[in-house]
Chain A
Amino acid sequence: MSIRSTFTAPKNFNTVALTLMAIGVLSITGLWVTSGSSTDPHEQARFWASLLQNSVYFLLVVNAAMFFMCITTLAWGGWQMSFRRVPEAISAVVPVIGVICAAILLAIVFGDNHTIYHWTDAEHVKHDAILSHKKGFLNKTFFAVVTILTVLLWSVLGWKMRQLSRSIDNEPLATMEERKKYIFTNTVWAALYLVVFALTVMSSLPWLWLMSIDAHWYSTMYSWYTFASTFVSGVALIALFVVFLKNNGYLEYTNDEHIHDLGKFMFAFSVFWTYLWFSQFMLIWYANIPEETIYFQPRAHGIYKGIFWMMFLINFIAPLLVLMRRSAKRNYGTITFMALVIIFGHWLDFYQMVFPAVSPDKVPNIIYDLGVALGFVGLIMYFTGRALAKAPLLARNHPFLKESLIHHT
């Protein structure tokens, strides 16, 4: 087989992506007919909550590819260079899902329905001591500004990182000085992105977007836990695309060693996620204060019990036991399977973050939400495929490329 340096989508790739998107649109329509168009605000909330959960989850997952790029750049990592165009391509989806997500969030906040975000109801907040104390943080203006600014900054910085990477494709860096300067520029932009990332995903954003659904309750670990959830799924997504490209005869310099390292990331961050998940749970369980335990009541003991414990099983026990062996992390089949399991597991995690507060009396029909999720998967496939085709798959002039070629674990 000849070496192919530019990606062209295989025959069925875009068909599958478009079919998935069609399923997504169909599910959204179905949801609209069954819940969204209803006059009951709780039914409407079920429709919007599904869009909220899916768009936020998949936005944070594709954004995790940005984090992966920037953190390895900042750490002067070289091992990922042979497949670095994959996270770059995934990061190109951030503006797309970002706009969708921002539109959905703003529609929820500025729509008149207060069932999802109770704090948007000004009349209610007046008589609610807790919510009126939180007014400085939980208000419509702040929410809108932060949401728009976040999506904007992620998109711009992502564009800058991709542009930096592609800028040397046809102009090799001749001298050591030039290479040093190039690495320094990359490091500065990566560091800038990480500051934004720390201020958004790692702190304020999950509080605003997700935790404020349970507006009275709070947990300082929540953002870290959300970050861990989406980062492990983001690495799983990168691994999926790398395996896909390998199977189609691309990425000739990416070998078992790189797959092994992605597997290690998936394993390690599954454990990290469990650590945060449990730390949040145990402190609340131990103190047993009613205003805190109210969060876990419907989840761990109520009607969401099944989803809650299933998500724990597939997010912790499965990666722990399956990915522990070295041979499992070097096997394309196992990595693909576990990546899918992890992405689904953390989607369930987000499901149990959002829905118990929105629909406390009955667990919604999850089929619709899975359909919406498939729509987002199609969106990610389509736009990542397009971004992959735009530039050569190997950043061939990057100073650290050799480190990746001789990478050995």
Chain B
Amino acid sequence: MAKKKFIVGNFTDEAVLFPAVKKVRHAGYKLHDVFTPFPIHGLDQEMGLRDTSLHTAGFIYGITGTSTAVGFITWALTIDWAINFGGKPYFSLPAWIPVIFELTVLFAAVGMVLTFCWLSELAPFVKKDHFSPRSTDDTFVMAIECTSATNEEEAVKFLQAAGATDVKVETKETGWWLGDYSNDKMRFA
């Protein structure tokens, strides 16, 4: 939970947004985030974000699913309750492959969804501060974090020169809280 000051600007065109991101980073401002109504290809590279590790997590969840399935079926069908199915050996790997596959997919899918929600701080009743409501509608919203070295007026002008409209200096909560948006105490100091 930390309230910080941000310069928030709206962009309406990708062709303006991309050079603006470049300029802002080049000028040494601390780019907090860019909020867009839909995914924009290449924006993550332009912002200098590192690749997500979500797929590595997915691989680990998948392997966990595979081992769970192999381990459990082996234990159940060879040790705990061995049954003779049509004269097949107790350890009949081909027959288990579909189940092993399904559990791999299930673990990987559910694990990745939960990890994604956790990383993006999405959950029921979790609320986050919006930088601009228009980022859910028709504009790309860029937020620059003000540090002790930031001259706010200069930064506002810089962002306007880069093509942003409706540029404001705002205090926003960067963390999340439980409850609802009407809780003014949580939102503004």
Instruction: Report A's interface with B, CB cutoff 8 A.
Output: 278, 281-282, 285-286, 288, 324, 326, 408
Contacts and interface: CB of A to CB of B under 8 A. Distances in A.
Interface string B78-101: 000000001110000011011000
5 contacts: A282-B97, A288-B87, A324-B59, A326-B51, A408-B42
A286 B89 CA distance: 12
Interface of B: 41-42, 51, 55, 59, 86-88, 94-95, 97-98
Nearest to A325: B55
Contacts of A282: 94-95, 97-98
A281 B86 CA distance: 17
A24 to B, nearest CB: 38
B94 A288 contact: no
B41 A408 contact: yes
Across the A-B interface, give the 7 residue pairs with the lowest CB-CB distance, nearest first.
A408-B41, A282-B94, A285-B94, A408-B42, A278-B97, A286-B95, A282-B97
A326 B54 CA distance: 12
A261 to B, nearest CB: 13
Contacts, number: 18
Given A278-B94, A278-B97, 16 more contacts: A281-B94, A282-B94, A282-B95, A282-B97, A282-B98, A285-B94, A286-B94, A286-B95, A288-B86, A288-B87, A288-B88, A324-B59, A326-B51, A326-B55, A408-B41, A408-B42
A140 B97 CA distance: 41
Identify the interface centre among B59, B94, B95: most chain A CB within 10 Å of its CB. B94
A278 B86 CA distance: 20
Nearest to B42: A408
Contacts of A324: 59
Nearest to B85: A286
Contacts of A288: 86-88
A286 B41 CA distance: 47
Contacts of B59: 324
Contacts of B98: 282
A190 B103 CA distance: 39
A332 to B, nearest CB: 19
B102 to A, nearest CB: 13
A408 B97 CA distance: 35
A186 B141 CA distance: 42
A326 B87 CA distance: 44
Contacts of A408: 41-42
Nearest to A287: B86
B62 to A, nearest CB: 10
B150 to A, nearest CB: 32
A278 B101 CA distance: 12
Contacts of A326: 51, 55
Contacts of B41: 408
Nearest to B86: A288
A285 B42 CA distance: 48
Contacts of A281: 94
Nearest to B95: A286
